[in-house]
Amino acid sequence: MRIGVYPGSFDPATYGHLDIIIRSAKLVDHLIVGVLNNVQKSPLFTTEERVKILQELTYDLDNVEVQSFKGLLVDFVKMQNASVIIRGFRAISDYEYEIQLAQTNYSLDSNIETMFLVTKNEYSFLSSSIVKEVARYGGNTSKMVPPLVVRYLNEKNIELNLEENIKINTLGGE
Ligand code: PNS
């Protein structure tokens, strides 16, 4: 049985990520979407939220499961008895970073291969950071992320605005 891991921050998952999940799930028997639990990155969505979003997006894909992981990716891959890491490749700007990741992972464990799937043309500009930036300023993200992510982004915006208002009121309200 070939098990693959598709790792990432997924903060939040986009149509580009979903496309890679659907396509790579056809290439392996079992696909584990690995959500990086990294406190240093201070993500917009908590690890639990990112996992939940991906679980909701992939509920109809029988051979896909979503898990969070901490530490080295190769350790997580080994723990899952997986043999292949899957990454999406959007444009030449991804090259340096992706090669560095793949080569580091290969040097850490040469039994684990990295496989790249080229992103669909229409998603080649798309990234979670771009989505967050557009959402933050009230732009329309419906072509970038599935409807449920649009909803999560709106909720997060409301939450952040409330926190901001509370801060302003506490600091300047006496
Ligand atoms: O979606 P991203 O942020 O590009 O994903 C990056 C990810 C999660 C694949 C990468 O940061 C990762 O694997 N982190 C875990 C630590 C690790 O093993 N790093 C690679 C060796 S330096």
Q: Which helix (H) or strand (E) segment is 69 a member of?
A: strand 64-69
Token couple for 169: 């009121």
Ligand 1 binding residues, C-beta < 6 A:
7-9, 36, 72-73, 101, 104-105
- Location of structure tokens 């990155």: 41
- Using one digit for the tens of pLDDT, what is the confidence trace for 80-135? 999 999 999 998 889 999 999 999 999 999 999 999 999 999 999 999 999 999 99
pTM of the model: 0.93
- Using one digit for the tens of pLDDT, what is the confidence trace for 20-77? 999 999 999 999 999 999 877 789 999 999 999 999 999 999 999 999 999 999 999 9
How far is the centre of ligand 1, averaged over its atoms, from the C-alpha of 108 (Å)? 13
The CATH number for 83's domain is 3.40.50.620
Total number of domains in the chain: 1
Rounded distance, CA 12 to CA 93, Å? Answer: 20
Domain that holds residue 31: 3-172
How far is the centre of ligand 1, averaged over its atoms, from the C-alpha of 70 (Å)? 10
Return the active site residues: 17, 41, 90, 128
